[in-house]
Amino acid sequence: MPATPPPLQSATAPPEGGFATLRALWPYVWRFRLRIIVAMVFLIGAKAATISISLLLKQIVDALDPKLAPLTVPVLLLATYGALRLASTLFTELRQIVFARVMARTARSITLAVFEHLHALSLRFHLERRTGGISRDLERGMGAVSDLLDWTVYTILPTVLEITIVCVILIRSFDASFAWITLGTLTLYVAFTFAVTEWRIRYYKAMNEADTNANARAIDSLLNYETVKYFNNESFEAERYDNGLKTLEDARVRSLKTLALLNIGQSSIVAIGLSLLVWRAAAGVVAGHMSIGDMVLVNAFLLQLSMPLNYLGMVYREVKQAMTHIERMFALLAESRDVQDATDAKSLIAGAASVRFERVGFGYDPRRSILHELSFEIPAGQTVAVVGATGAGKSTLARLLYRFYDVDSGRITLNGQDLRAVTQSSLRAPSASFPKTPCCLMTRFISTSLMAARARPAKKSSRPHAGHRFST
């Protein structure tokens, strides 16, 4: 099975919203459809065993009630109770064993796809973006994929399945008010959680942004350690980093405060719902409509539902956070490639390295051109020195020859082949019959340019073709 399915095309817009993100994620997950089906079977088995435990507990309590039957020890029921406990744990662990590969491989596949896409992007993208910020987004995204699948399979789906089964049992076995109280509590809890979490998400995004900025500043400063030392800017860099950390600190404090408000509201709703259900069950026992076993059953169901309810708020927050991280990672995957191979691009034909610039025009910014209809030729086996002032475009020639950028006008040919008509991999890769093109050629081209520039400074000119001196 390949490590990565076909990734998003470069022209594809990044996914916006939860459903769009899930659609983009689905092809990576669905490759493991067999494991997913098996994991779902184990999930159903685990929940069936868990709910059966409560039903069996009711039978055990009723069997011990002297008013209903002679007082004996229900050995078979107790043995079945233990077996169901074991089955619940066994099915849960088997589900984890089966699904573990899905989570790990999916996270690996998407992260690798983004990494390969980043290498395929043009030099312009990497010069305009901070490496530290990109690295942070990639790291968070990889963890978020595993977290999203983890919460979905281990918490969300089991909780929905369990709540559905419990409500059906309550309706069929007891008064409908039990089911209405349960559903009302769940609805109010979910609505409150979603509303407050949506309000809180702005603070979480602000915290993430502050974290990314602070991390980017630290990495950029350390990567340029020598430059910082040259200008004695240690204190300035520390102050910039501290400003980023202060913003991060304030964002974290706001996020924690709003989290406390959310937890208080959730606990209040759960407490009210549980109190109402226990009160209805106790009234039924006193009125003789329910047995002690029924009281135990309702109480056990309440305990079963209260545990996932306590986690629901956290799960929703974690899922929203994971969605945010995955969106940022898919946004990297959707970055367009400025330099792309043509659909009919062919491999470079090896031969003598003859380079020709034909009326080449280029500018990093459309408002300011660097090269103006520049033409020259480097015959095979010859050396050309490019002399010019700083910013005249000497390094730009090397970047264009490597196709880090495409020319705005004109063309560059290698042995008569337009660089835009050959694949980038064949252009940059050495071969047995053509081992020095263009890597070795470029090294000599650049080094000769630098030596020539130092030996005889050229007249300053804003038009590179006028300020260059070519010799062979």
Examine the pLDDT at 11 and tell me if it is beyond 70.
Answer: no
- CA 173 to CA 176: how far, in whole Å? 9
User: Is pLDDT larger for residue 365 or for residue 242?
Assistant: 242
Give the pLDDT confidence score for residue 386 in this predicted structure. 80
Looking at the whole model, is its pTM more than 0.85? no
Q: Which domains does the chain have, with CATH numbers?
A: 18-333 (1.20.1560.10), 355-363+370-467 (3.40.50.300)
Of 191-200, 235-244, 341-350, 406-415, the least confident: 341-350
How far is C-alpha 311 from the chain's CA centre?
23
> What pLDDT digit, counting tens, does each position of 87-99 carry?
988 998 998 898 8
- CA 246 to CA 240: how far, in whole Å? 10
- DSSP characters for 231-298? TT-HHHHHHHHHHHHHHHHHHHHHHHHHHHHHHHHHHHHHHHHHHHHHHHHHHHHHHTSS-HHHHHHH
Strand 355-362 versus strand 371-378 pairing type: antiparallel
With CA atoms as reference, report the closest residue to 117 among 26, 8, 15, 24.
8
Query: In the numeric block, which tokens belong to residue 245?
Result: 């950390």
Examine the pLDDT at 245 and tell me if it is beyond 90.
Answer: no
pLDDT band with cut points at 50, 70 and 90 for residue 4: very low
Residues 212 and 133: beta-carbon distance below 8 Å: yes
Q: Cα–Cα–Cα angle for 387, 392, 398, nearest 5°?
A: 75
> What pLDDT digit, counting tens, does each position of 199-237 carry?
877 787 788 788 888 888 888 888 888 888 888 888 888
Examine the pLDDT at 467 and tell me if it is beyond 70.
Answer: no
* Type of residue at 195: A
- CA 89 to CA 156: how far, in whole Å? 18
> What pLDDT digit, counting tens, does each position of 138-157 carry?
777 787 888 888 887 777 88
Tally the C-alpha atoms within 13 A of residue 166's C-alpha that lie toward its C-beta.
Answer: 30
Strand 355-362 versus strand 409-414 pairing type: antiparallel
- Mean pLDDT computed over 370-399: 80
